[in-house]
Amino acid sequence: PPPEAETFKKHPLDKSQYHRFVLDNGLKVLLVSDSRYNKSAAALLVDIGYYGDPPDRGGLAHYLEHMLFLGTEKYPGVDDYGTYLSQNGGYDNAYTIYDHTNYHLQVNHDAFEGALDRLAQFFIAPLFTPEYTERERNAVHSEYQSLLERDGTRTSQVQALSYKKDHPASQFNIGSHETLGKVSRTELLDFYRAHYSANRMSLALLGKTSLDSLEQWARLYFTPIINKD
């Protein structure tokens, strides 16, 4: 709907401007504009998490998250994305949980458009650079090992024992050498193509620029993401 038809529940002191819409490819967008922000930020959520892992591939969704950071056709440098953000006062991160994966960033205002262009390419033309597949598999395994002694991880594993064996919540989900060691490049690409569809994505953009500019960037950079229905 046009901005004047939108209603948002806001705190009386909230002076931010909001706009939400859906791109032609089905991707849902929320924009937030406020001249007082000291950084611009973005988050793209994909409606697939570790509940979507095949039974014998625990951690595949998490592994895919790692692999998307390793260059795209437009920006092939394996460190291009992170370097661009760090050189412009920003940072990036991502996480995978049971029902979604989230990719997010913050950056100086004048570098926001460039950051959005780079982020969008993750979902348009990622390279899944073959020579880094083993490195990222090791990174996932190291993350698994570092979590072993955390109370939250232990609690989750105890909870998993109480679930039905055929429910995805009962599965191991972080990923390790044992569960990811036999994952082929073809299998990884098939998982990406099956689940990373525009109609299963939501985008939030926050910055000091106008809602019109934010909308223009959202349409320009994220409309090319394919809707696979």
- 142-173 confidence digits (pLDDT tens): 777 777 778 887 888 788 888 898 888 878 87
Given phi > 0 = left and psi -120 to 50 = alpha, else beta, which region is 154? Answer: alpha
List, as one string, the DSSP characters of 35-49. Answer: TT-SSEEEEEEES--
Q: Is 149 a catalytic residue?
A: no
From the candidates 65, 113, 136, 215, which is the catalytic residue?
A: 65
Distance CA 155, CA 132 (A): 32
Whether 116 and 204 have beta carbons less than 8 Å apart is answered as no
Q: Which of 84, 105, 196, 180 is closest to 136 using CA atoms? A: 180
What residues does 98 pair with on adjacent strands?
none
Rounded CA-CA distance 59/180 in Å is 7
Cβ–Cβ under 8 Å, residues 161 and 126: no
Q: In this prediction, what percent of the chain has a pLDDT beyond 70?
A: 97
pLDDT band for 5, please (50, 70, 90 cuts): low
| Residue 46 amino acid letter | V
Residues 117-142: pLDDT tens digits?
A: 999 999 999 999 888 887 888 787 77
d(CA 8, CA 37): 20
pLDDT at 38: 97
User: What was the pLDDT predicted at 68?
Assistant: 94
Residues in the chain: 229
φ, ψ for residue 20, nearest 5 deg: -135, 145
Residue 1 has pLDDT above 70, yes or no: no
pLDDT tens digits along 9-43: 889 899 999 999 999 999 999 999 999 999 999 99
Please name the residues in contact with 119: beta carbons below 8 A apart, sequence gap of 6 or more: 42, 44, 81, 103, 105, 221
Q: For residue 215, how far is the Cα from the chain centroid?
A: 19
